[in-house]
A and B are shown apart, each in its own frame.
Chain A
Amino acid sequence: MPGLGSRLGRGGATTTQQSMGDSDCIVIMGANMAENHPVGFRFVMKAKQQGATLIHIDPRFSRTSAMADIHVPLRAGSDIVFLGALVNYVINSERWNSDPFFKEYVLHYTNAATIINREFRDTEDLGGIFSGYVPGEGRYATDTWQYAGQEIDPGMAQHPVQDVQAREGGAATGTPQAARLDPTLQDPFCVFQLVKRHFARYTPEMVERSCGVPRDLFLHVAEEILKNSGRERTTSFAYAVAWTQHTVGTQMISCCALLQLLLGNIGRPGGGILALRGHATIQGSTDIPTLYNLLPGYITMPTSTPQHASLGAYLETESLPTGLWYYLPNYLISLLKAWYGDAATEENDYCYDLLPKVGGDYSFEAMLLMMKDGIMKGLFCMGQNPAVGGQNAVLARQALANLDWLVVRDIHEIETAAYWCDAPEVRNGEVSPQDIKTEIFFLPAALTPEKDGSYTNTQRLVQYHDKAVEPPGDCRSEAWFMYHLGNRLKQLYADDDSPRGCQLRALTWEYPTEGDTEDPDLDVVVKEINGYTVADRRPVQDYNSLKDDGTTASGCWIYSGIMPEDGNNLSRNRRGSEGAALEWGFAWPRNVRLLYNRASADPSGKPWSERKAWIWWDPAEGRWTGHDVPDFPATKPPDYQPPEGAKGLPAHPGDAPFVRMADGRGALFSAASLKDGPLPTHYEPFETPVDNALYPEQPQNPAAITFPRPDNQYHEVNDPRFPYVITTYRLTEHHTAGGMSRWVPWLAELQPEGFVEISPELAAEHRINNGDWVTISTLRGETNAKALVTRRIKPLRVDGRTVHQVGMPWHYGFGGLAKGGIANDLSSLIEDPNSRIHEAKSFTCNIRKGRATANGEQETR
C-alpha cells in the first residue's frame, strides 16, 4: 500500500477496527464496510450508538449507506476532487487557523516546514503535470521533487526499468538535519505553501461540477469532519479496494493520509486510516508478500540494474541514513540467513546473488499477457480464480488456454479449472475444447478448519488458528503442498549446477512434519519468521535484535516478536479486553496497535487531551507508557535532539513519530516514493464520459500503465459508444470470485444470480423493466445480467449534463450454484503506476435490453 507508505512510512492500516469505536466521526469512502466487513462494522455501530457521525461517500447507496447519517453519492473515480476540496477547505477554515492544536501537530509531526527543491514545478504551473515528466516514456524523473539541499542518485531518479518500486518511506539520500526548514510556513517552496497552492482549485464548486455532489452537501461533510477533529475529538477514515482499484488509486489513499495529517488525526485513538483488507489474509499477503516486487517486510525486491548488482550496491542504494530503514542490512541479511542457512556467508554476500532480480513488470496483469503471448508456459493457481476475477477475463481465459500446464488447487472445481469445457465461448461454439492444449491438474484443497495457520487481518493483527478436523480424502493444506513441492524440486535439481539448481539447493527446507499426512510443523515456520540467533537457535525478542553479520536469521523482520521464546506463539493469544487488547493475537510491528502513536501525545509528551490519551512520556520512569506498545524508541525523551551526524533512529528528534520516514515526519509532500507525483492530483479514470474539469489539458494519469493492443482496447474520453460509468463491487453473500461461496447452497441461495443495478431513469430510457435481461458491453467483451432497477443508484449532474452509473457485482461466473455473467469480461488491463492495481471501480460501458441466447435468439425475461 504505497498510498499510506509514502506519507506515513508503512503500508498498513494505522488504526484498528476496535479503535473506530472511539471515533467521533467516521468517514467510509472507497469502501462498503457493512457489506464486506460486517463483523468489524460492529465497532462502527458502537461509535454510532455513542453519538458519532457516520458519513458514507460512495456512488451507490449500499448497506453501509443505510446506516449512515450522511450518504454522498459521487461520480465513481472523482474521489481526489472531493478529498482535495476537503484539504483546501480545512487549511483555509477559520477553525484550523485559529485552534493552535492543528498548527502544533502539523509543524512538529509533518514535513510542512520543509523546503523543497526550487526547481520543482507543480501541476498548477505545467497544465496538469509535475516537473520531471519524461514524455514518450510515461514516467517522471523525481530529482526536482526532493528536499532542498538533498540530492537523489540520478540513477534512481531516472530509473531505466519502469517498474522499479521506490521504497515506502522515501528514497531521498542525505540526512534530515541537512533539510532546510521554514517554521513560519511562509516560504513559497515550503511544503505547506506548495500544498496550499496545489489544492487551491479544489473548491466546493469544483466538487459540484466534477463529482456531481451538491455544494451544500460537500460543505456539510467538510464541517462535520473539521468539527470532529482536534485536541478533544478525532475522525477516522476507512477505505478498501474501491480506492485501490483506480489508475489514481494510490493517490486517492495518499490524499486521505495528507488530509488526516493536516487534521491531526494520525496516531490517535478514534482517528487514523483503516485500510480495510480483511479478506482472508490480504494484509498478510503483502507483509510476507505474494507480490513480485517486494521481499518480506516491504523490502524492495532486487532489480536487474547496476544499483542492485551486488549486496553492497543494493544496501547502499536502498538503506536510508536515518530512520528505521537505516537498519535495512540487519533485516535483509537476516532474511538471507533464514532462507539460505549455512550456505549464506559473508564471503558470498549471504547468497544475495541467488535472489531473483526483477527485470520488468511481473504483476498479475502483465503475467496474463505473457501467458497469452506464449512467454509463460505454466501457472500454479491457488486461492485465485482468474477466469472470473482476472481483469479482461476474456483475455485471461485465452491466456489460460495458451499454457502448457496449469495447476489449480481449490475447494471447488472453479471456473479456472473448468474454462476449457464450460466457458461461455466454449458453450457458444467459438472455442473448441480440442483446440486447447493446456494440461490442467486439479488438486483438492483443505478448508480453514482443516488446517493450522494464521490470518493477518485488516489491522495487521496476526491470529493463529488450529486444525479442528482432518481434511477429507486427498485434500491438503497450502503449507503441505508448498513443503512437499519444495522437497521434490530440490530432489529434481539435486545434481543440477545451473543457477536455478543452485538456488534450489541452497534453500533451507528442513521442517519437521506431523501426522499421517506429513504436514510441516507450522510452529517451526513461525519461529523462522520471528527470527533466531543462528548459534543457539533461540528466538530473538524483536527486530531490534537482528544483526547484519550473519549471526541472526529472520524470515520477515516486521513480524519479529511474534514468538519471543520457543513455543510461545503470541498470535495464539486470545485474552480480550477494552482498549488496546494487547493480549489478543499479535500485531506487527512489536505488537503496536495504533501506528505512529507517539503522535497521540503533544510534542512535550503529554496527551493532547484526557479523552484521547493513548501513550505518553513518564518523566519519573524516563520512558513512554500508556495503553499501547509505544511505536517509538521507548526511552527517547520528547525533547531529545539528535547529535550531529547521528544515524538510524537516534537521528530523529523526540517529536518525530513517523519512525520509518527518513526525517521522522508525516509527508504532506512525498519526495520520491510515488511515481505519479508528490501531491495527489485529480485525473479522470482512464475511461470516462467527462473531461477533466481541473486540468482540461491532462485528462488521464500521465504515468498510468497501459497495455493497448487489439485484445485489450480502451474507450476514448467521452466515447459516444460507451456513455455510462460502470463500477464493480462485492456483496456480503459472496466471497471474491466465488470459489468459496457460489458452490455453497446456503450462500448461493441468498444471491443466486448475477445482476446489474441501474437507476429507474436509465432503465426508462432503455425500456428495461426490473428483472429483465440486460446486455452490458465494452470493447473487451460483452456479458449479461438481470436488471435490478433501484433508486439506490442515482443519475448525477456532472458539468451540466447527466451522467448515468451502473453497478455490477463481479462474483459471478459459469460454475457453481449461483451463476451469472462475468463482470470482468468488461474490464481492461490497466494499472496504477505505484501499486500495479487495475481500474475496475470506474470505466465505461453501454447497456441494452435483452440478451442473446445460446442459439442466437434474443430474450428479455
Chain B
Amino acid sequence: MNSNALIPPDAQSSLIGSTDARPGAVGFLTDTTLCIGCKACEVACKQWNQLPMDNFGFTPTSYDNTRDLGATTWRHVAFVERFPNSDGAVRMPPFQSSWLMMSDICKHCVNAGCMQACPTGAIIRTEYDTVVIQQDVCNGCGYCVPACPFGVPQLSLSDHKAHKCTLCYDRVKESLEPACSKACPTDSIQFGLVDELMGRATGRVQELKERGVDGAYIYGDRAIGGTKGIGGLNAFFILTAPPEVYNLPREPELPQDKTIQAYLSSIGAAIAFGLAMVLSLCR
C-alpha cells in the first residue's frame, strides 16, 4: 500500500508530524504496531477508575467484545482481521499485518468539540492541556455527545451525566503515569509530553517505512486526524491501514465550524420561505 494514498489531497506535507498542542501538553502515543491486543489497558482503566462491566455479551467480531468507547469504557481495543482470500505471501510485512489491533481512547483534541459545545462549563481544559468533564458541574444535557467527531463522550444510564477518559487526571496530578500506559506490556501505549511523543512517533514511522511497513503514518497530527481547526490530537496513534479501517474519520472537523454556514443557510431558507409565502398570498 502506498502511504501517500492516505494523505488527503489537500493535506500539506508540512502538517505531517505537527501539532498545535500547547507547551507542556501531555498525551498518549498509541503505537498500534506494538499492540498485542492483550486489553490490559482496558482492564487497568476500569480498575483505576472503578468503572463497571458493561455491554456484556459475545459479538462474533474477532476478539472484540467491547465494541465501542462509552460512558463506562474509556479504552477500547479494536480488532480488525484483514486476510486475503487466497494464501498470502510467504513473508508477511513486519509488525501487525493481517490482524490489526488498536487501543482507542478519547483524543484530548487540541481544540475540543465537546468542550465548545458544553453549555455549563463542565468540560474544561486542565493544566496538562487534557480535556476533562467535571462531574459535579455536568447537567447531563448531552450536547457534547454529537459535538465529538470521534463519538467519545457518552451519557451514562445510571447517573445521566456525560463520561469519558480523564487521562487519569488524578494520577498525573500525583506524578503517576495513567493506568493504561502503565499496564501496557509492550509499550504500545506511551505517555508523555506531546512534543516529545510526536518526535518519537515521527522517528518510529520513518523506521517502520525503512523496515518495509509502507503504510505507517501518524493519525492525530494536523495532516490526518487532527485536521480542520482541531489542531492535532493530544492522544494520537501510529496506524498502518487507512483510518476508516479502524473506524476513525480521515478528516474530522468540529461541528461548530459549520454553525455560521448553518445559520446562514437557515436564514436564507427562512427568507426564501417567507418570500414564497408572501408571493403566494399576493396572488
**Do A and B belong to a common assembly?**
yes
Cα-based distance from A792 to B97 in the complex (angstroms): 12
| Max count, chain A CB within 10 A of own CB: residue among B62, B83, B186 | B186
Q: Is residue B36 contacting chain A, with contact meaning CB distance below 8 A?
A: yes
What is the chain A residue whose CB lies nearest that of B58? A753
Interface string of A786-818 (1 = CB under 8 A from B): 111111100000000000000000000000010
- Residues on B with C-beta less than 8 A from A220 are 90-91
- Residues on A with C-beta less than 8 A from B100 are 66
- Residues on B with C-beta less than 8 A from A48 are 94-95
Cα-based distance from A64 to B83 in the complex (angstroms): 16
Known interface pairs A45-B186, A61-B98; A35-B38 also in contact (CB < 8 Å): yes
- Residues on A with C-beta less than 8 A from B99 are 61, 63, 65-66, 792
Which residue of A66, A216, A745, A748 is within 8 Å of B37 (Cβ)? A66
CB distance from A37 to the nearest CB of B (A): 9
Which residue of B34, B65, B92, B97 is within 8 Å of A752 (Cβ)? B65
Known interface pairs A216-B90, A750-B43; A66-B96 also in contact (CB < 8 Å): yes
Q: How many residues of A contact B (CB 8 A)?
A: 45
- Residues on B with C-beta less than 8 A from A788 are 60, 62
What is the chain A residue whose CB lies nearest that of B77? A750
Interface residues on B, range: 35 or more
Cα-based distance from A220 to B62 in the complex (angstroms): 29
Interface string of B47-63 (1 = CB under 8 A from A): 10000111111101011
Q: Is residue B40 contacting chain A, with contact meaning CB distance below 8 A?
A: yes
What is the chain A residue whose CB lies nearest that of B88? A71
- Residues on A with C-beta less than 8 A from B54 are 749
Q: Is residue A755 contacting chain B, with contact meaning CB distance below 8 A?
A: yes
- Residues on B with C-beta less than 8 A from A34 are 36-38
Which residue of B40, B83, B96, B101 is within 8 Å of A792 (Cβ)? B83
A745 near B60 with CB under 8 A, answer no
- Residues on A with C-beta less than 8 A from B91 are 69-70, 220
Q: Is residue A770 contacting chain B, with contact meaning CB distance below 8 A?
A: yes
What is the chain B residue whose CB lies nearest that of A772? B60
Cα-based distance from A753 to B40 in the complex (angstroms): 19
Which residue of B58, B81, B94, B186 is within 8 Å of A41 (Cβ)? B186
- Residues on B with C-beta less than 8 A from A787 are 60
- Residues on A with C-beta less than 8 A from B39 are 732-733, 750
CB distance from A225 to the nearest CB of B (A): 14
- Residues on A with C-beta less than 8 A from B55 are 749
Q: Is residue B214 contacting chain A, with contact meaning CB distance below 8 A?
A: no
Q: Is residue B42 contacting chain A, with contact meaning CB distance below 8 A?
A: yes
| Max count, chain B CB within 10 A of own CB: residue among A746, A749, A750, A792 | A749
B36 near A41 with CB under 8 A, answer yes
- Residues on B with C-beta less than 8 A from A770 are 60
Q: Is residue B166 contacting chain A, with contact meaning CB distance below 8 A?
A: no
Q: Is residue B187 contacting chain A, with contact meaning CB distance below 8 A?
A: yes
- Residues on B with C-beta less than 8 A from A45 are 34, 36, 186-187
B57 near A753 with CB under 8 A, answer yes
A68 near B90 with CB under 8 A, answer no
Cα-based distance from A751 to B61 in the complex (angstroms): 11
A42 near B65 with CB under 8 A, answer no
B58 near A745 with CB under 8 A, answer no
- Residues on A with C-beta less than 8 A from B187 are 42, 45
Q: Is residue B119 contacting chain A, with contact meaning CB distance below 8 A?
A: no
Cα-based distance from A39 to B57 in the complex (angstroms): 27
B36 near A63 with CB under 8 A, answer yes
B97 near A66 with CB under 8 A, answer yes
Q: Is residue A38 contacting chain B, with contact meaning CB distance below 8 A?
A: yes
Q: Is residue B103 contacting chain A, with contact meaning CB distance below 8 A?
A: no
Q: Is residue A312 contacting chain B, with contact meaning CB distance below 8 A?
A: no
Q: Is residue A100 contacting chain B, with contact meaning CB distance below 8 A?
A: no
Within 8 A of B (CB), among A48-107: 48, 61, 63-71
Q: Is residue B185 contacting chain A, with contact meaning CB distance below 8 A?
A: yes
What is the chain A residue whose CB lies nearest that of B47? A746
Interface string of B74-90 (1 = CB under 8 A from A): 00000001010000001
Residues of A within 8 A of B (CB): 34-35, 38-39, 41-42, 45, 48, 61, 63-71, 214, 216-217, 220, 731-733, 745-753, 755, 770-771, 786-792, 817
5 contacts between A and B (CB under 8 A): A35-B38, A42-B187, A217-B90, A755-B58, A770-B60
Q: Return the 7 tightest CB-CB contacts between A and B, nearest first.
A: A745-B53, A791-B83, A771-B60, A753-B58, A66-B99, A34-B36, A38-B38
